[in-house]
Amino acid sequence: MDLRQLEILQTIAETGSFTACGRRLHVSQSAISRQILLLEEELGEPLFLRVGRQVRMTPAAESLVQLGQRVFQDVKDTVGRITDRTGELHGTLRLSGGMTVCLYVFPPLLKHLRRVHPHLDMRLTVATAGRSVQEIRAGRIDAGLLTLPVEESDLVTVPALREELLLMTTATHPLARRKVVAAQDLAEQPFVLFEAGSATRRVIDHFFASQNIEPIVVMDTENVEIIKAMVKTGLGISIVPYQAIAREVRAGQLFCTRIEGHELFRETGWVYARANRTPRMISELLKAFAEVRGRLRLARHA
């Protein structure tokens, strides 16, 4: 058994087929099949059950995939310890986050990282917190800036942001002309909200439930830009992070306000795989984030 065979097994597990594995690793399907056959002969155990055109891993193969994950993480950690002595980062940093984070947090962060570590390749994935956790566990993402809570024993969570959520309407909406907006003023309003099940939506739903309000939800989406566009067209009003609308509010295109007697916030934090030591790439990421955090508009000043 060698590292190449473990890599092939991991790739089949990720892609779901020998053909897709070959495409990713740039080798022929016959070469993939040959390596699997050699491994099966060595172990004396079948690694795949073939059902039509589909292949299904046996428990033996699943055990080897888990072994491969540990081996490759050890290799990555060892290489990290060796290269940590150098000042400038090289390699690829793979990040993930929700739409709002990718639009308003990652741009200044990546710009700062590019200036400090010009040879660092950075890849960005827009994903829900649930999918990001899966990708981090699989080793395909190094760190995610995710809406909390994320409570997984094999992951490290570092609280990073406390974002204020504000009521958003058009500048000409009747609520925009009020000095104070109360919770009960929202009872008959149509809402365009974040998707059901998301951590941000749970904060909003908890607020409505505490006020015995069943909101009229005419649309929900994970894309904050779509939410803003729908509000601008008059489809409804919304509750969104302040940093997503700060520019439009200052320009008079949108109106935002706190709901009387209520302060709504969502917590966001860095999430990455737990290891014996924090990789220098993650340490540099957190250091860079600390540098740019003060520039983010996380709450509206009274």
| Residue-level pLDDT at 283 | 92
34-63 residue pLDDT tens: 999 999 899 998 998 877 667 788 999 999
Is the pLDDT higher at 253 or at 50?
A: 253
Average pLDDT over residues 148-155: 91
Task: Enter the tokens of residue 82.
Answer: 């060796």
Average pLDDT over residues 233-253: 94
- The Cα–Cα gap between 235 and 190 comes to 7
DSSP string, 186-228: GTT-EEEEEPTTSHHHHHHHHHHHHTT---EEEEEES-HHHHH
152-208 residue pLDDT tens: 899 999 999 999 999 999 999 999 999 899 999 999 999 999 999 888 999 999 999
Domains of the chain plus CATH, in order, are 3-82 (1.10.10.10), 90-159+269-295 (3.40.190.10), 162-266 (3.40.190.10)
| Residue-level pLDDT at 84 | 57
- The Cα–Cα gap between 44 and 76 comes to 30
